[in-house]
Structure 1
Amino acid sequence: MEYVVTEDSAAPGKAPTLADNSKKSGSSYGVIVKPVVNAIGVLRYLAHKGAPERAADIARHLEINPSTCFNILRTLVLEDVVDFNPLSKTYSAGLGLARLAEQLVTQGQRVQLALPLMRELAIARGITVTLWRPMGNDRIVLVSSESSPADLHIYMPLGQRLPILMGASGRLFVGQMNLSENDLHAEFARIRWARALSFEEYLDQVHLAQRHGWAVDDGYFSDGVLAIAAPVRDTTRSIAYTVSAVMIRSQHSDAEVRIKALGQSLKELGTRLESVLF
Structure 2
Amino acid sequence: MHDPPDASRTPQKDVGAVFNAIRILASLAASTTPMGVAAVARASGVSTSTCFNILRTLTRARYVAFHSTDKTYSLGLAIAELAAGLIGTSPTALIRPEMERLALKHSMLVLLWRITEDDHVILVDRAHSQSAIRVEISVGFRMPAFAGAVGRSIAAAAELPPGELFRRFGTLRWQTNPGFETYQSEVAAAKERGWAVDANNLYNGIISVGAVITNADRVPQFGLSGVCIAGQCQTKALHQFGQDLREIADIAGKALYMSPRT
For normalisation by structure 1, the TM-score amounts to 0.57
Tell me, yes or no, if the aligned pair for 2:158 and 2:219 is still in contact at 8 Å.
Answer: no
Task: Tell whether 2:165 aligns with 1:174.
Answer: no
Please show how residues 21-100 of structure 1 align to structure 2 within 5 Å.
none
Can you list the C-alpha shifts for 1:124-170, whole angstroms capped at 9, x where unaligned? Answer: 11101111121124211111111111241122111211111101010
Say what the alpha-carbon RMSD is for the aligned residues: 2.0
Residues 1-278 of structure 1 mapped to structure 2, 5 A cutoff: 109-252=90-233, 255-278=234-257
Distance change (3 Å), C-alpha of 1:111 and 1:152: same
Supply the distance in 2 between the matched residues of 1:210 and 1:151 (Cα, whole angstroms). Answer: 30
Cα separation, 2, equivalents of 1:219 and 1:144:
23
Q: Which residue of 2 aligns with 1:89?
A: none
Question: What is the distance in 1 between the residues matched to 2:139 and 2:89?
Answer: 13
Gaps of 5+ in 2: 1-86, 258-262
Deviations 1:155-203 (A, max 9, x none): 2111211111101010011124354322322221222211131101100
Residues matched between the structures, number: 171
1:207 Cα shift?
0.3
Question: Structure 2 CA distance, aligned partners of 1:198 and 1:267?
Answer: 26
Query: Which amino acid in the other structure matches residue 222 of structure 2?
Result: Y
Instruction: Write the letter of the residue equivalent to 1:212.
Output: R
Q: Is the alpha carbon distance of 1:145 and 1:210 closer, same or farther for their aligned partners in structure 2, counting shifts above 3 Å?
A: same
Q: Which runs of 4+ in 1 moved over 4 A?
A: none
Q: Which amino acid aligns with 1:161?
A: R
Shift of 1:216: 0.6
Question: What's 2:41 paired with?
Answer: none
Unaligned runs of 5+ in 1: 1-105
Q: CA–CA distance in 2 between the matches of 1:276 and 1:116? A: 14
